[in-house]
Amino acid sequence: MKKSVLQRDSPLRRWDGPLTAELTLRPGDFGLGKVPARLAPDAVTSLVCGFCSVGCSLQAHLQNGHAISLTPDPEYPVNLGLACPKGWEALAPLAAPDRATTPLLRNQKTQRFDPVDWDHALQVFTLKFKALLDQHGPESIAFLSSGQICTEEMALLGALFKFGMGGLHCDSNTRQCMATSHVAYKQSFGFDAPPYTYADLEESDVSIFIGSNLCVAHPILWQRVLRNPNRPEIIVIDPRKTETAMNATQHLAIAPKSDLVLLYGAARALIRRGCVQLQFVDAHTVGFEDFVRFLDPFTREMVCAATGLSCEAFARFVTAIAGGRAVSFWWTMGVNQGHEATRTAQAVINLALMTANIGRPGTGANSITGQCNAMGSRLFSNTTTLLSGRSFANAEHRLEVGNILGIPVERIPTHDSQPYHQIVQRIEEGTIKGLWIIGTNPSHSWIDQNRFNEGLSQLEFLVVQDLYHSTETARQADLILPAAGWGEKEGTFINSERRIGLVKKIARAPGQALADFHIFQLIAHYWGCGPMFAEWSSPPAAFQVLKKLSKDQPCDITGIRDYRMLEESGGIQWPCPGRASVPPDESAPLRYQTNPRECRLFEDGRFYHPDGKARFIFEQPRESPERANAEYPLLLITGRGTAAQWHTLTRSGKSDILRRLQPDGLQVEIHPADAARLRVRPHTRVRGFSRRGSIYATAMVTPTVQQGQVFMPMHYEGTNQLTLSAFDPHSHQPSYKYCAVCIEPS
């Protein structure tokens, strides 16, 4: 009789082979349940995720001090035990084979990279940049940095470059995502201050998402929306039927970049319905009467003609705002990356102010940040604003910073740096000759990519400091400095709700790669200005410097003792001034009982302008800088592809698991009617053209885009070969969401 495979002595069944050992589970301890034996940790520690601005905390499972796997922190007040695929896979990019492990210098004869030691690399760095400064002055060198590095690092970089090296022009890739929110808040509230706390996502009865595909871009925040016990009305304003729009109770599929007209029209309609909270407006704002007069032309008919909405859809939207007990407005890149982005963000703020939906649970005009430390960059990068939200043009501010840092005030520039696009223009014009790029990949991500790369090729000296030697930007460098990544260094990030969280070293950087902080310290030493930064001796010491810089600013963090307090508190939201006496939150998990309460701004109705009042700011809508025509009849919208993809895929493309969750290459979403007209069949190769370049992609025929529009995810190099160099005039943020293209079968 044949033996069953289930019988213990069946030759087909092994009970003690290598695979069995692999599958055997044992208690993981540390509250982890059961884990495979080889993954049993000997310790765990928590750190904040290094991808997006949600700022989830991840538990690193350690063996001999090294992380072997990650799980979401079950108690952290942000993610409550959840993580998106990127968080789960955050260790994979660190082990990629294309990590830069030694400085690489381009050999001028062979044009190949030669490995060199740090001493040689830093001598070349210093020699080249000093020569440019001596020959062409302080405006001839620049840096472009990142919202992905720690706050201590970006502050040291900005201070070193401007006060130590004597440079002037520098900016960060946060210009590409958050500059609009920064400027909008600063002008409207008097300081760059996102007012909310994530708990507001669970307390609204009307949640309005403008240009935000929250499901995909901030998946853990979407989970917080789903936890809302009020069964809120969820309204999505987006030309595309995104994953978030599919889950909305109202989807306003407006014409691309008609959001400003829609928001003005809603404000007018609310006024006409008598839904303005006049007591709040009178007590806490300036400019409402002028706003009312300005709104006069934004009639329902005008709004519906501009947006393509039906009168009923528009009325339903206004009714939801009017009837909401706690209405929250959330916006992301669909607003920020537009040609009139700042005024659009302020139109959102105006709606919150006039309906008094601010400073109360479940309310707010809430910009959700992009990168893990974009908020740190906005406050402390010392690029286009002086440290801690101050102004370079303000003599008093310069004196304060000089005194705090113990540096001669003459070392502080008296005017702001040029923003990113002006730096790019100066590179094209040849006035900026040396560029240092840190932790960002603009040869892929900057708008109108071919033009950008043409500019880079004209530089006399390009340094790229990055984890990988293989990025599109690094491949063009003269010198590559190998940097440690998230998880290989310590510091802090500030998330979307202003919560400062801790990043820890849970892995060893490969080869000679160093933390950005230590690279900056070395550069200070080689440059000869090391003593100026003696106080910045380590990231924890630099954090103490940041505390001093924040004192009496709206972002005061002097009440945060040190990293340990951040750890014990589950992160702390700014402001946390030293004089604050914040009672512990007894509803917090035991581990985080020292946690100060959730911190929402403007509960007292006082804003940061000297008179304590917020401003209504508005402006006539502008024409889009490029229109569709017979040659380029389709409008291209760009955005995030999937929750498994992060920006240029530099890191998320390194994980086998994340790659399996991503489409295989660039896809263009096209409406079935357009596809039929253009003879484009589903899943076939198409060619896309704009006035700036051409690309190949795979056609995804879907009604999620409207007729006359196509969508491409931003994660592929080709997308920005098509986009147009257009910028918001106030924030100088690129307008990635609108340009004219044509698509044809390939």
Per DSSP, the three-state class of 533 is helix
In which element (H, E) is residue 437 found? strand 434-438
SS (H, E, C) 175-201: HHCCHHHHHHHHHHHCCCCCCCCHHHH
CB of 378 to ligand SF4, least distance (A): 18
Structure token digits, residue 302: 């005008």
**C-beta separation of 669 from 743 below 8 A:** no
Cα angle 703-369-662, degrees, rounded to a multiple of 5: 45
Mapped onto helix, strand or coil, the DSSP state of residue 106 is strand
- The answer to whether residues 661 and 642 touch, using CB atoms and an 8 Å cutoff, is yes
Q: How far apart are CA 616 and CA 686, in angstroms?
A: 46
Whichever of 462 and 644 has its CB closer to ligand SF4, that residue is: 644
The residue type at 247: N
Number of residues that bind ligand SF4 (CB under 6 A): 13
Q: Sheet containing 461-466: which strands, arranged edge to edge?
A: 113-115, 104-106, 479-482, 461-466, 434-438, 141-145, 169-172
Q: CB 19 → ligand SF4: shortest distance, Å?
A: 31
Q: Which residue number has the CB closest to ligand SF4?
A: 87
Residue number, 86 or 640, with CB nearest to ligand SF4: 86
Does residue 715 belong to the site contacting ligand SF4 (CB under 6 A)?
no
In the complex, the smallest distance separating the C-beta of residue 613 from ligand SF4, rounded to whole angstroms, is 35
For ligand SF4, which residue of 41, 51, 142, 213 counts as binding (CB under 6 A)?
51
DSSP at 218? S
**Distance separating alpha carbons of residues 121 and 299, to the nearest angstrom:** 63
Subset of 623-682 contacting ligand SF4 (CB under 6 A): none
Q: Is 52 in the site for ligand SF4 (CB under 6 A)?
A: yes
Residues 66-85 close enough to bind ligand SF4 by CB under 6 A: 79, 83-84
Closer Cβ to ligand SF4, 86 or 489, answer by number: 86
Give the per-residue contact string, 201-220, with ligand SF4 (x = CB under 6 A; - = no). ------------------xx
- Give whichever of 53 and 638 is closer to ligand SF4, judged by the CB atom: 53
Residues of span 87-106 touching ligand SF4 by CB under 6 A:
87
Indicate the residue among 190 and 713 with the shorter CB distance to ligand SF4: 713
Instruction: Using the rule CB under 6 A, give the single segment among 54-62, 134-142, 207-215, 617-625 that binds ligand SF4.
Output: 54-62
Smallest distance, ligand SF4 to C-beta of residue 49, A: 3
- Structure token pair of residue 568: 């014990």
Binding-site member from 59, 62, 73, 86 for ligand SF4 (CB under 6 A):
86
Tell me the closest approach of the beta carbon of residue 185 to ligand SF4, in angstroms: 22
- Rounded least distance, CB 89 to ligand SF4, Å: 9
Q: Does 49 bind ligand SF4 (CB under 6 A)?
A: yes
SS3 assignment, position 564: helix
Of residues 173 and 731, the one with the C-beta less far from ligand SF4 = 173
Of 223 and 285, which CB lies nearer to ligand SF4 in the complex structure?
Answer: 223
| Long-range contacts of 541-546, Cβ-Cβ distance < 8 Å, separation of 24 or more | 542/152, 542/155, 542/156, 542/517, 543/151, 543/152, 543/491, 543/492, 545/155, 545/404, 545/405, 546/151, 546/152, 546/155, 546/380, 546/388
Q: Which residue has the tokens 């995720």?
A: 49
CB of 58 or CB of 740, closer to ligand SF4: 58
Whichever of 247 and 725 has its CB closer to ligand SF4, that residue is 247
CB 51, min distance to ligand SF4, A: 3
Q: Which residues bind ligand SF4 (CB under 6 A)?
A: 49, 51-52, 54-56, 79, 83-84, 86-87, 219-220
